[in-house]
Copies of this chain bind each other. A is one copy, B any other.
Amino acid sequence: MASIKDVAAEAGLSVATVSRALNGHPSVSPAARRRVLAAVEALGYRPNAVARSLRTDQTRTLGLVISDVMNPYFTELARSVEEEARALGYSVIIGNADERPELQDHHVTTLLDRRIDGLLLSPTDGGSPRMLDAARAGTPMVFVDRWIPGVDVPVVRSDGQTAVRDLVAHLYRLGHRRLAIIAGPAATTTGRERVDAFRAALRAHGLEVPDAYIGQGDFQADSGRRVTEGFLDLAEPPEVVFAADNLMALGALDALRARGLRVPDDIALAAFDDIPWFVHTDPPVTAIAQPTGALGRAAVRALVDRIEGRPGESVTLPARLVVRRSCGEPAPSPSPVRRSTS
């Protein structure tokens, strides 16, 4: 592969001039510039990003460590992150932690070894030592979706509190009183927050959440299935199951179907995180939709701000309730109400 030396030789100039010409430095004569461009063309030269990074101490690369690529929410997030980064002239390297702390650590380490300019993190657990070291060492960093309390890093996330309140009001209006939640891991902020918001919203209606109605999941489909089965085995099973993420909702749907229960007639289902597929499930699932694209873009902007020396602020965007049929009421439509339950 041709190097800058080859270009210099071909153009009959020094490497310094070639470099300057290629980087748009002002003090290069038009004639020299032309010769450089011609040589570049002739040799099919492309600058070696590795060498450039070593010298300039910047890679123009962002690292993104997400908890689970197979989760459509994170896929969409990754996509919007890459788009915005590209628009700002950065590349993105994605690391998939698969909800496993040691994998998360592995990715943080290799990304740091590669001297990425900044790190976008959606921490799996309470924060690994590597991550905390990096934060302390001043590596530009932004948390997205989830975060770690007590670490001084901007957080870009979505606030589901209002949406959860809307959801609970919706459920209450439909006559549901026994509401259960499949929670995420307590080590994650989103795991805790969603339970808290749920409990607070219920309390506003004078309802309490018994411990038996809080199932411990891990944001994966299997745990949704398992927890739902536990709910159904209760002497007094809940009337509604609210899953704290979309994969657990999927697991719950499986479990309900396996027992031959009809949704929403026998039991209602709702989920945090809206995804395109929820429109096509049987029945379509009522969900709380995060502004995923906006979240990804805001996170990248905050991170790039940090990298380029600007403040880089935390952002919180509101989530919103999307009503479909899984809780018993048809999605808002002009047609008259069909149901005539006693």
B interface footprint on A64-105 (CB within 8 Å = 1, 0 otherwise): 000001101001101100100010000101101000000000
A residues 192-213 in Cβ contact with B at 8 Å: none
> Which B residues are CB-close (under 8 A) to A70?
72, 75-76, 79
Query: Are A91 and B91 interface neighbours, CB within 8 A?
Result: no
A residues 49-65 in Cβ contact with B at 8 Å: 49-51, 53-54, 59
Q: Say which size band chain A's interface belongs to.
A: 35 or more
If A250-B276, A250-B280 are given as contacts, then 20 extra A-B residue pairs at C-beta distance below 8 Å, sorted by A number, are A44-B133, A48-B115, A49-B113, A51-B54, A69-B75, A69-B79, A70-B72, A70-B76, A79-B96, A82-B96, A91-B114, A93-B93, A221-B276, A250-B277, A254-B280, A277-B277, A277-B280, A277-B281, A281-B281, A282-B283
> Which B residues are CB-close (under 8 A) to A221?
276
Q: Does A316 touch B at the CB level, under 8 Å? A: no
A50 with B115: in contact, given A69-B78, A70-B76, A78-B69 (CB under 8 Å)? yes
Q: Does A110 touch B at the CB level, under 8 Å? A: yes
Min CB distance A255 to B, Å, is 12
> Which B residues are CB-close (under 8 A) to A44?
133
Instruction: Enumerate 10 A-B pairs (CB-CB under 8 Å) in ascending A order.
Output: A50-B53, A50-B59, A51-B54, A69-B78, A70-B75, A70-B76, A91-B93, A91-B114, A93-B93, A277-B281
A113 with B46: in contact, given A277-B277, A280-B250, A282-B283 (CB under 8 Å)? yes
Q: How far is the CA of A133 from the CA of B44 in the complex (A)?
A: 10
Q: Does A112 touch B at the CB level, under 8 Å? A: yes
Instruction: Give A residues with C-beta under 8 Å from B.
Output: 1, 44, 46-51, 53-54, 59, 69-70, 72, 75-76, 78-79, 82, 86, 91, 93-94, 96, 106, 109-110, 112-115, 133, 137, 221, 250, 253-254, 276-277, 279-283
